[in-house]
Structure formats: C-alpha cells, structure tokens
Chains A and B, each alone.
Chain A
Amino acid sequence: MTEKLLDIENLTVTFPTRSGDFDAVRGISFSLGRERLGIVGESGSGKSMTGRAILGLIRRPGRVTADRLMLHGKDILKMSEREMQQVRGQRISMVMQDPKFSLNPVVRVGEQIMEIYRFHTNASRRAAWAKAVEMLDAVQIRDPERVMRAFPHEMSGGMGQRIMIAMMLVTEPEILIADEPTSALDVTVQTSVLAILDRLVEARGMGLIFISHDLNLVSSFCDRVLIMYAGRIVETCDADKLHDAKHPYTRGLLNSLPRIDKPARRLEALNRDPAWSEAKSVSGHL
C-alpha cells in the first residue's frame, strides 16, 4: 500500500475558450498505491479529465501542466509521444464507459484484442490468439473462441464491457483507469464486472483508479475516495467512511440520493456554495 505507483502534484488541465482559459482540473495532488482509488464527482467536476491527463490523452489546444506527474519515478509529462505509446496500454490502461463507442465496429473482437497485444509484445499471431482467448476466458466470457470471431454489435453491453476489460488487461498493466466502467451496464452484470476488477487488483497487485458518480458503489467497492468539485479535490477519505464525510458538498450529494431503507418524502436539493470552488484543493496523497 505504501508503494506509490503514481505520484501527482499540482495537476492542471486547461482548455482555451473564446472567453479565456478554462481550467477543467485546477491543481490537484494525489498518489496511487496498489489500491482501489475512487474519484467521485458530478459531471464537469474534472474526474474524467484527470484520468485522461494521466494517459496523455488531452489533445491540443488543451494543455496539461503539473509540478510532478510521476509513474514509478519517471515523469510522464517529459516523455516523448513514442515513449508514451509504450506506457499507454502496456503500463497504464483505461476502460471507458460505453463499449459501444470504444470498440471498432468493423473489426472482429479477436483482431482488436490481438492488435493491442502484438503491438506491445511482438508475439506471433498464434500466441496472441491464445492469449486473447485466455483473457476472454478470464473475464468469464463463455465460448471465447466464438466471441473472438464476432463483431462488437453482436455482443451485449455487459459482454462488450468485459471484452474491453480483457483488451485492456491483456498487456498486464500496473495501473488501470476505469472511467465509469459499469454505469452503462445492468446491475447484476455490474456486480460481475466489478468482481473481475476486484480480483485483478487483489491477485496482481494492480493499482485501480475508479472514476464514478455513484457514491454507494464507490464507498462499497474502493479503498480510498477523492471527492472532486469544480476541478479540485474537496475531500478525501477512506471509502468505508464516505457516509461520515464532512464536506457540505459530499454531504449534499449523499443526502440527494434516494435510499431504499430510509424513505423520505422529499429529497434534499444541493445548494452550491461558491466558496467550495474557491477553497484550495485537498491533498490526496497516501
């Protein structure tokens, strides 16, 4: 837990707009160990941009600056695009929200998984095929040989997401960034996808950044949580203590959720305090 896979200091993501620069992420600092780190916040809070910035996926005119963005002691921001190619997919992978938009619709599933594996390992087609089948099997896809030959549209959403996870893990990365990996899925499928991620973290000591808007899910799935608001971290806590969070924004989010066990006639609406977005970002270091 004490080993830092990622060490980030003062990360800022800026997009120029007609009315001046807009900071989507405003100087956040955190680190990731071999743990499940949840990042929660509403849309526009900068949680997805944080994940993208780590992978160097912010394209111009967007700008990423940081005092430190270290992956195992090496600064990601100083890497060339060529070096980044080696990091992306091999050492850090990302699972996006909706498999429908992440898989190439005109390429067979197997080809897509094999491509990423061969890009990083120079393995033969035969070896890549075997590895891809093994991965599909690992994410509990029945009849992986058939799925290898199928096109993405022939798959259900849950299968598509498992294929994405298989594809992202075929290179055995140290860090997986999962951006809302289960919010397009049904609840029972969600449970099985989470169980797969969970076992991977446990068994292989992977670091997982789990980006989500679902507070209940994050508090029950993750080890530690960062709560983001308007591009900053407003609070950080152990996941199982999320329900005792102190910050009025976190409290507001929790109270606005309908609860099965506690009926309320009205839900609490969130009154946003401008001071929240002005307050300095809280450190999310271990």
Chain B
Amino acid sequence: MSRIEFDKLNVWFGEETDRVDAVKAASFIVPTGGSFGLVGESGSGKSTILRALVGLVPSWSGTIEVDGVALGQRRPHSFFRDVQMVFQDPYASLHPRHTVDAMLSETLKLHRFKDIDTRIEKLLADVGLGPEFRFRYPHQISGGQRQRVAVARALAPEPSVLLLDEPTSALDVSVQAEVLNLLQDLREEHQLTYLMVSHNLAVVAHMCEHVAVMQNGEIIEVMGVEDMRAMSPAHEYTRRLLDAAIGYKRPSDDAEPVF
C-alpha cells in the first residue's frame, strides 16, 4: 500500500515557441489503498500524469510524492518494484515472439527473485489463467487472456501501486467485466493502490472512489463517486461527459440543421 501525492505537477514538451503544456498545475492525492480515476478526453493529459509518475517524461516540475518521499529526476530501484503499469492494448504491450513464461520470468529475473518457477505458477493462478497458458505466445490466446497476462506481469514484482492506463478499452464488454472483476479482487487480496486512467466514466465509477476530471491539461474537478452517480457535477464539462456516457441524446428541434 502506498499513498501518492501530486502537487502542482506541470509537464511540458518542447521549448519556447514549440512548447506544449500537457499538464498544468495538477494536484491530487491518492490515499493509501485507494482507487483514484483520471478521466478526460484524448490529449487532456491524463496518461501524461501516469507517465510523469513513472519517469517517462523528460521535463516536469512540481512534486510527486510516493509514501511521503519526493521523487527526483531519477527513481530509486525500489520504485520500479513498488509501482507497476498495465497498458491499454494487450495486442501491443506483449512481445509477440515471447511466451507468457518468458515475459513473466524476465520481469522476475530483473527484480532478482529466486523461486521463479513457483512464482510464475502462482501469478498465473492469481489472474485466473490455468498452467496450460504458460508456454503460449500472445497470438495463441484471446484479448482478455492477454490482458490477464499483462496484469500478471505487473503483479510479478509484488508492487503496492498499479497504474492502469485504459486497461479494458480494447476489450469486449463481457471480457471487460471479467477483467474489472479480476482487478477488484486483486486489489483486495494484495492491498493495492490503483491510479486508473479511462475515458469510460462508467468503468471509472465502478472501479474508483474518487475521480479527477481533466480538460486541456488541467484538473477541473475532483469528485467522489457518489456525486458522479447522482449526476451532480460542479463543472459544465463534467456534465457533458456524464451525459455522453449514458447514451446519445437527440438534440432538440430548434437546433440548427446542417443541410
């Protein structure tokens, strides 16, 4: 379990005239063992916050604290064990020519674990995959099973924080349900802290206790999940997101016709 605190995080790309401010003064706290969602449209900076946390962006300012320790430009080795990430597209994030076994054992070796064999068996069981999946290649398993492998790989170093970057948006709804259930179970079993990025508000409402809504690099609203369920956002933009999440609404007749 870990607590993550962002204070006035700025992330930018390029310099001077080319400078793009991807994240502007973002501040929020993910409590120990909590589950926090970042929602917003593409380009709003939600994934960039995750990337800043793991050290994948070159230029940032402000403070990022994990368990009260501020992160510098270089992260300590233990950080990469404590914080793990699950990416959006399991078709892209798994090496096509490595077996499940090779991917998991590489991670375990990197983190200098000894009992690799038993750990792989345990990890596969944790994510609900049978031992028969161990020596398969990604193309031999379905999308949902791939995402389970990606979760197993993230769990391998025994992290306390999982960063979930759109973990189910490439999956069918029935498979999404299975993966979300798995993530819920794992969070309880392993006492994980989740920081989740998604454009699907229903998924975030299901998974998280708190949600930050982002627009153009700024956090415009942080709200509890109850406010979200009650459809009572403070910000007009959040209302539009919530309306769109529920379905398509025919515009009223006085709207200007195009043709």
Contact = CB atoms under 8 A, between A and B. Distances in A.
A263 interface: yes
Among A186, A257, A260: residue with most chain B CB under 10 A: A260
B184 interface: yes
Interface stretch (B100-108, B131-139, B251-259): B251-259
A237 B259 CA distance: 30
B247 A199 contact: no
Contacts of B173: 42, 213, 215, 253, 256-257
A266 B184 CA distance: 8
Contact of A269 (B177, B241, B242): B177
Contacts of B69: none
B97 interface: no
A21 interface: no
Nearest to B41: A186
Nearest to B241: A187
A61 to B, nearest CB: 21
Among B173, B205, B259: residue with most chain A CB under 10 A: B173
Nearest to B202: A258
B19 interface: no
A188 B41 contact: yes
Contacts of A269: 174, 177-178, 181
Q: Is the interface of A mostly helix, strand, loop or mixed?
A: helix
Contacts of B242: 260
A270 interface: yes
B172 A260 contact: no
A260 B247 contact: no
Nearest to A45: B172
Given A256-B173, A260-B201, A261-B229, A266 B181 contact: yes
Given A43-B172, A213-B172, A267-B206, A221 B248 contact: yes
A173 to B, nearest CB: 14
B247 A217 contact: yes
B259 A204 contact: yes
Interface in B68-105: none
B250 interface: yes
Nearest to B250: A198
A134 to B, nearest CB: 10
Contacts of B225: 263
Contacts of A219: 247
A190 B246 CA distance: 12
Contact of B228 (A189, A256, A260): A260
B32 interface: no
Given A199-B257, A269-B181, A256 B205 contact: no
Among B143, B177, B178, B181: residue with most chain A CB under 10 A: B177
Contacts of A260: 201-202, 205, 228-229, 231, 242, 245-246
Contact of B174 (A157, A188, A252, A259): A252
Interface in B201-259: 201-203, 205-206, 225, 228-229, 231, 240-242, 244-251, 255, 257-259
Contacts, number: 107
B146 interface: no
B244 A187 contact: yes
A246 B111 CA distance: 51
Contacts of B59: none
B180 interface: yes
A198 B241 CA distance: 20
B199 interface: yes
Interface in A81-101: none
Contact of A187 (B143, B206, B231, B245): B245
B251 A195 contact: yes
Contacts of A156: 43
A267 B225 CA distance: 17
A121 interface: no
Contacts of B181: 266-267, 269
Contacts of A188: 41, 240-241, 244
B42 interface: yes
A10 interface: no
A268 B229 CA distance: 19
B177 to A, nearest CB: 4
Nearest to A265: B184
Given A256-B173, A257-B173, A194 B248 contact: yes
Contact of B206 (A139, A157, A263): A263
12 contacts: A138-B258, A198-B248, A200-B259, A256-B173, A257-B173, A258-B202, A259-B202, A260-B205, A263-B205, A263-B225, A263-B229, A266-B181
Given A200-B258, A203-B258, 19 more contacts: A42-B174, A139-B258, A186-B199, A188-B41, A196-B258, A204-B259, A215-B173, A217-B247, A253-B174, A257-B202, A258-B205, A260-B242, A261-B229, A264-B206, A266-B181, A267-B178, A267-B180, A269-B177, A270-B177
